Amino acid sequence: MTSDIPAGTEANGTEARRAAAPETEAHAAPMPVAVSGAAALPDALPGQERYVAPVEETPLQAVDSLDESAPATNMWASAWRTLRRNPLFIVSALLILFILVAALFPGLFTRQDPNYCNLDRSLDPGSAGHPFGFDLQGCDIYTRVVYGTRTSLSVGVLATLLVVLIGSLVGAIAGFFGGWIDAVLSRLTDIFLALPILLGAIVVLQMFRTNGSIWKIILVMALFGWVSVARIARGAVMEAKNLEFNTASTAVGSTPMRNLFRHIIPNSLAPIIVVGTTSLGSYIVLEATLSFLGIGLPTTTVSWGGDISNAQSMLRTDPMVLFYPSAALAITVLAFIMMGDAVKDALDPKSRTA
């Protein structure tokens, strides 16, 4: 088959393309572009320059430098610096300090005997040396409020310590070893978690009403209160055991029990301390509730719950008899709740609401 295009025409087209090729390559060649603060790449086309800031405008050495003269810090030191600047912590600490002084040294605030009563002064109003007046039995309300601080605070603190100890141990063992140990302890925790602490305490205390000891109340609180701490401790230990320091300690020959008690539990204490601090006020209220119901501390023991129970019949006629022990209980619980919130913000910044 023959082509209809003349030979001369094809030759002329080839020569035309060859003649236009240098002109096209000249247009495609990169042109030097002067841009302030920019550096053109060797083969960059117009508009493809890369901006490079001057060295004096990017003090990377000052940004990345480490102040070696600064003192070493850790989580606890950082938390303490945060607490010192928190007004909530300062107010609650001052209140708790005042309450502790009243509990440890009640003689600094009153010289009266809290168990001394004079029926001739029944329901008398406040006077010099007796600012809160007298109750129905003629007992000095101010003195009983001061001495009741020791009982209520002792029960709350000791119960909290025992709850934290039991719950931390159970939760740490369950979270560290896992497997069937975790399964058994978790089901045991679920069983106790299903029992309301107040209802369980009422049932157990009714069974042992012959023994009116303060340790009975503390043990009952610990029996039903350790589950919440155990769940928190289990989660914290499960998170800590997967960190690098545990792997490094195992690599140098440390035993699992040594890792647990020397490294993992100390690094899991922050959430446990937060739960213990916020729970202390709850145990003070629980003791007052049990004493109010008549199944807590014996009537011979001075406590806020017992005084509130004795004054409930005079709520309409003499409400101030009920007001003073109730106010002392409310202020104490509020102080520990405020302290717990401040500690929570310091040890767990992610939980801050503002």
Full domain range(s) for residue 184: 87-351
Domain count, the chain: 1
Retrieve residue 190's tokens.
């679920």
Residue 278's alpha-carbon distances to 27, 329, 334, in angstroms, are: 77, 15, 10
Q: Is residue 55 part of a domain?
A: no
Q: Minimal CA–CA distance to 343: which of 128, 163, 59, 80? A: 80
Say if CB 284 and CB 333 are below 8 A apart: yes
What residue type is 340 in one-letter code? G
- Write out pLDDT tens, residues 208-245: 776 667 888 899 999 999 998 999 999 999 988 888 88
pLDDT per position as a tens digit, 57-102: 666 656 556 666 666 667 777 888 888 888 999 999 999 999 999 9
Tens digits of residue pLDDT in 94-106: 999 999 999 999 9
Among residues of the chain, what percentage have pLDDT more than 70?
A: 77
More reliable by pLDDT, 294 or 45:
294
Q: Is the pLDDT of residue 193 over 70?
A: yes
In this structure, which amino acid lies at residue 216?
Answer: K
Three-class DSSP category at 257? helix
> Would 56 be classed as within a structural domain?
no
CA distance 318 to 114: 20
Higher pLDDT residue, 135 or 22? 135
pTM, rounded to two decimals: 0.73
Question: Would residue 9 count as lying in a domain?
Answer: no
| 218: CATH | 1.10.3720.10
* 254 located within any domain: yes
Given this model, what pLDDT does residue 136 score? 86
Tokens 């679920």 identify what position? 190
Task: Please compute the mean of the pLDDT values over residues 123-144 and round it to a whole number.
Answer: 88
- How far CA 73 is from CA of 76, 140, 216, 318, in Å, comes to 8, 51, 43, 56
Residue 332 domain flag: yes
- Residue 46 sits at the vertex; the CA angle it makes with 45 and 51, to the nearest 5 degrees, is 95
pLDDT band at residue 52 using 50, 70 and 90 as cut-offs: low
Cα–Cα dist 81/83, whole Å: 6
Cβ atoms of 192 and 226 closer than 8 Å:
yes
Which amino acid type is present at position 185? Answer: L
Residue 91 forms part of a structural domain: yes
First to last CA, the chain: 88
Taking each helix axis from N to C terminus, what angle separates 304-311 and 319-347, rounded to the nearest 10 degrees?
140
Task: Classify residue 47: in a domain, yes or no.
Answer: no
User: Residue 342 and residue 337: Cα distance in Å, rounded?
Assistant: 9
In a domain, 137, yes or no: yes
Predicted confidence (pLDDT) at residue 36 exceeds the cutoff of 60: no
Segment of 144-148, 277-281, 343-347 carrying the highest mean pLDDT = 144-148
